[in-house]
Structure 1
Amino acid sequence: MWIAEVGYWSVTASSMAFTLFFLFIVSLCTCTAHVPLIIWTSEGAILPTLTEPTAGEIVSGEKVVSYLQSALTTLPNRVLLFLQDKLSIEDFTVHGGVFGNKQDNVFINLESALQASTPLILPALAWPTAVSVEELFQEALGVPPLHIVPSALNQLQLDPSQPSFLVISIPYTDSVQPKELLRKNDEIIGDVLSVFKAHGVPYTAVYTGLRPSYVSHDSLTSLSPGFVGRSLLQAKPQPPVKPPVTFSNATGRPCILLWADRLNISYEKSDWIDLGPLTFNTPVSLEGSVCNETFSSLVLNYQNLNTSNQNFKSFQLIFLMRNIFFPVSARNWAVLDKLELKYDGRTATFNGSRGIFSPAEFSFSCQTVGSGQSPLLVPQSSDDNATQWNILFTEFQIQGFGVPGNFSYASDCAGFFTPGIWMGLLTSLIMVLILTYGLHMIMQLRTMDRFDDPKGPGISVPLND
């Protein structure tokens, strides 16, 4: 039996119009090959204050999960996912009742639900994320999804004390007029919400789509593999950017971030092994990682790591960072104190404090971090195992303190006087020297004080005996 206390909390229509107006403005800056996502709650449940994405930001799956996890800390753990086959931001701006005629509004039930809550609107959700949004929510809630039809809600019995994940699939076909189809889908949303309201059941609702319903020609050229035709400066589709490794503290807030294009290691001059696919493409175990205000340790655990001449049953890559106050600069600095490689009971330790550091509120970024030429990772003199390893990380970025959610401003390892700057300064110096020499030669020119007249007598210079 469903038992819940339902309160009432409403937002004025002007605030709702402002929210959708912000959604419309942001949509002008985003590519149409993305889908929107809306999160709202039932009456009486207040959505916690969440940081809205910046204008033009494409929200990734990890950020959507972080939004949902933050919301479920205070909201009902009964999630309703209205999953439409196709949905774009234009469906709201063209067929909504905020910018046009109120009589032509097709989202009457949806806007009524949003007015009774504090909705979170994400205008641009990454297309690959939208396809896997059901799997992301399942992992965040820890319960399998239950696909239902609106007509079967009255017979459904759920335990209010246990989390539940209900998925209501909404069709979208190109053969039907979008306006009429969206009006019917809005009625489906209204029927589902009315059933929960009648039973007094609190919920957290999400409305999104699997793919966009409006895709521009430019989006087709870059996203459709079978597109054939001419386009100006056509570029090959780029693979999606892999998310960083994120470790969260006990409260669920991210405290350590790590990203790299490649994590190459080599044992005893063997072939390079890239740990990147094992770290970013598949979830890597972070067991043993800790973080606080003064110390952070990120532990990446691997199993059965094979090199060309060795097989390691267990392998750990450990980043040890400290937050240190330096009186000279009068500020705190985040320092990568050590990098440890633990394998089959042995440990190889590299010192990174000489070159891997940044202000505590910034992240550290470097194009290459390694133990080869111009190393930033130096084997400890007392550690013989470290000399057996070679390390080369490319496009490396890490942050262990003051993580706001994503990476903070990056402090790059490159010095100010790069080779390009030195070449420019040297060329400018040569040009200045040439100009100075030329001016000096011009200033040394002297004119004759007497001139020979060809029509008159010649100038005679008497010579004294």
Structure 2
Amino acid sequence: MTEVRLRCGSLSTMAFTSVLFVIFSVYSCSAQVPLLMWTSDGYSLPHLTQPPAGQAVSGGQLVSYLKSALTTAPHNVLLFLQDKLSIDDFTMYGGVFGNKQDGAFLNIKSALQASSNPLVLPALEWSASDSVLELFQGELYIPAVHIDPNTLKEFQLNTSQPSLLAIHLPYSTGAELKKLLLSNDEIIGDILDMFNSHAVPYTAVYTGLKPSRVIQDTPISARSSVGRSLLQAPLQPSVKPPVTFKNTEGQPCILLWADTLSISYAQGQWVDLGPETFNSSANLTGSTCNETLSRLVLNYQNVRNFRSLRLIFSMRKIFFPVSARNWAIMEQVVLEYDGQTAIFNGSGGIYAPAEFSFHCQNVSSSESALLVPRTLTDNASQWRLSFTDFQIQGFNVTGEHFSYASDCAGFFAPGIWMGLLTSLLMVLILTYGLHMIMQLCTMDRFDDPKGPTISVPLNE
């Protein structure tokens, strides 16, 4: 095995490794892969802002990271592409707990420790990781040289010009996984030692082409009150993709998804617009988006007895000084049908921080009362709306995936209130009982039946 030199900075190797993998552990590995980037001794990457906890880095963000990194990093790039890789591989085989010599990533950890300001992306969309090689070729304007680990000894290093080396590492499952990861780590260590021995500066990247483990988050069950929390309501693999409206620059700016989009006119039968909406051919004519206003328009033809029908979602971004942040508020949901208009105002419950999406299991004009007709005499009084598993984002959209969502469910469910009130009543009864016991007093003299009786003089 290649000898590895550990260089200790202000943090010990174990402390640095622990911090690194604690950062890894807070991310979900749902269809995501990690990416590590570091430089050789004497070089450093520019200070790059780490993504917020839980946010997956998209392809556009990765391009921005690489452009910033290559401004100061060496242009000899070592790209270690493993067939599959997930954060769980580090936590399970990295030797974080117990003897660090048993870990499968000793060379990688020592390289990160020796590097100045390495870049760690725990959650990268694996579709973006698949194009890392093309991104480097586009930035460096040099072709990639593919290296087979089995023929590594035959490789001759050219130190006269920059190079882009793509080293493909295998991956397997089962009992041999740790042994294979150890072998991959040795290959990485051998290549790094070869560059160090020739005093050639380099920039190294280690990532996976696909996630080795995909964990699906459990969606919110129907009509359950699990409390307001930050979560991403993921789409199941079998359901339709969200409706995506793009701005004039071709970037997504509005996302909408729902299990059902049901409408009913004059107390008639419900009509679900979901199948027609999420069939990848929704008509979004009339939709607009900017920094403060998002307007998503869904156009339909021949729905029941109506020749044309439009469902419009209007959201506005407002700054509230009390919270010192921007909030996205659903102002109105409008139905336009055959020249008439039915307007439903948001009751104040459809809102979320501007950087998150809004999710609610049931948005209705009757049951949840999140949508209120503008006036009782308005056309909206003839309509009923019901959206189930509803999620929308109108601002700060990155890619075609929702940001973490602010859920509409109340924090205190009826069962929680009953438990709190019962506990409070029990505490009050116990407190009153203890108070009464502490007030009991005993007499300092007792009546002797054989002697004179005790007399208590009364003050006149």
Task: Give the alignment's TM-score, normalised by structure 1.
Answer: 0.52
* Residue 118 (structure 1) aligns with: 118
How many Å separate the matches in 2 of 1:420 and 1:352?
30
Q: Residues of 2 paired with 1:101 and 1:417: CA distance?
A: 46
- Identity between Structure 1 and Structure 2 (%): 25
Aligned to 2:293: 296
1:40 is matched with 37
**Equivalent residues of 2:374, 2:380 under 8 A apart:** yes
Instruction: Give the secondary-structure state (helix, strand or coil) at the position aligned to 1:185.
Output: helix
Distance (Å, rounded) in 2 between the aligned partners of 1:396 and 1:210: 30
Which whole-Å CA distance do the structure 2 matches of 1:346 and 1:32 have between them? 48
Change (3 A) 1:39 1:347: farther
Mapped to 1, the partners of 2:325 and 2:174 lie a distance apart of 63
Q: Which runs of 5+ in 1 are unaligned?
A: 1-9, 223-237, 430-465
Per-residue deviation, 1:133: 5.5
Aligned equivalent of 2:345: 352
State whether structure 2 residue 69 is matched by structure 1 residue 75: yes
Letter in 1 for 2:363: V
Q: Find the residue that maps to 1:49 and give its secondary structure.
A: coil
Cα offsets for 1:324-359 (capped at 9, x unmatched) = 7699x999875422223568x967452324344558
* SS at structure 2 position matched to 1:18: helix
Separation in structure 2 between the aligned mates of residue 281 and residue 80 of structure 1, nearest angstrom: 36
Partner SS state of residue 50, structure 1: coil
Instruction: Report the equivalent of 1:229.
Output: none
- Among residues 394, 397, 401, which one is paired with 2:388 in the alignment? 394
2:344–2:380 CA contact under 8 A, matched in 1: no
Task: Quote the residue 2:169 is aligned against.
Answer: 170
Contact 1:81 1:207 in 2 (8 A): yes
> Which residue identity is paired with 2:49?
T
CA–CA separation in structure 1 for the residues paired with 2:305 and 2:365? 20
Pair 1:323-2:318 in alignment: yes
CA offsets per residue over residues 410-434 of structure 1, 9 Å max, x none?
A: 464x6989699699999x99xxxxx
Q: CA deviation at 1:309?
A: 5.8
Give the direction of change, closer, same or farther, for the CA distance of 1:167–1:392 in structure 2 (3 Å limit).
farther
Q: Do the aligned residues in 1 keep the contact of 2:333 with 2:346 (CA within 8 Å)?
A: no
Alpha-carbon displacement from aligned partner over 1:247-266 (angstroms, at most 9, x marks no partner)? 89999999877664433345
Distance 2:209 2:84 in 1: 5
Give the Cα separation in 2 of the matches to 1:99 and 1:75: 34
Aligned residue in 1 for 2:262: 264
Alpha carbons 1:270, 1:307 under 8 Å: kept: no
The letter of the residue matching 1:262 is T
Q: Matched residue pairs, number? A: 370
What is the CA–CA distance in structure 1 between the aligned matches of 2:342 and 2:135, rounded to whole Å? Answer: 35
CA offsets, 1:165-218, max 9 Å, x none? Answer: 9975421246995455334423554677789999989868341363548x9xxx
Give distance in 1, aligned partners of 2:81 and 2:106. Answer: 14
Structure 2 unaligned blocks of 5 or more: 1-6, 72-76, 219-234, 426-460
The alignment's TM-score, normalised by the length of structure 2, stands at: 0.52
For 1:63 and 1:286, the matched residues in 2 are separated by 30
Structure 1, 12-21 or 249-258: larger mean CA deviation: 249-258
The residue number in structure 1 matching 2:146 is 149
**Contact 1:370/1:377 (CA < 8 Å) preserved in 2?**
yes
